[in-house]
Amino acid sequence: MHVLLDLYGVLLDHEKMFRGYRERLAELLTARFGGDPDAWRRAHDEAWVTYVQRVNAADWESRGYADVVDDLDARHLVEMFDRAGVRAPPTDALSVSRKLEREAPRSNGSARRATKSTSRREAARRTMRRSAGPASPI
């Protein structure tokens, strides 16, 4: 027997997960780096638009998939700091981004079973499939 579990739409409400993750991320960033939770939420939303644009523009063929996503995730966090008006983003943005990915879902019931990384990677895959045809298996 084979079972297909579709993370987006069948078993989980992606929008609810996204909103819940965003809220918890704003709480974590405010507690650790200062600033205003509303500013962090706005920064996340604005930086997310840029993230998706970068996903669409990425050269997925010349670099490994994980390398591209790592670069995108680190840049997303740095851009959030800039947009939130918080100075001095972490020097190792990728490491901080991954730590936040692990922590936010643990304390957020709506995003408990999926991490930001999974969501972004799946979003990247969907976007890549729409814009470039069939994606190669990972």
Instruction: Give the pLDDT confidence of 12-68 residue by residue, as tens digits.
Output: 677 788 888 899 999 999 999 999 999 999 999 999 999 999 999 999 899 889 999
Q: CA distances (Å), 82 to each of 61, 95, 111, in order? A: 30, 18, 25
Pairwise CA distance, residues 78 & 13, whole Å: 28
Q: What residues have CB less than 8 Å from 131, skipping those under 6 apart?
A: 56
Q: Which residue has the higher pLDDT, 5 or 41?
A: 41
- Name the average pLDDT for the chain: 80
With a pLDDT cut of 90, the percent of the chain lying above it is: 51
Exposure of 14 in the CB half-sphere (CA atoms within 13 A): 10
CB atoms within 10 A of CB 83: 17
- What share of the chain has pLDDT > 70, as a percent? 68
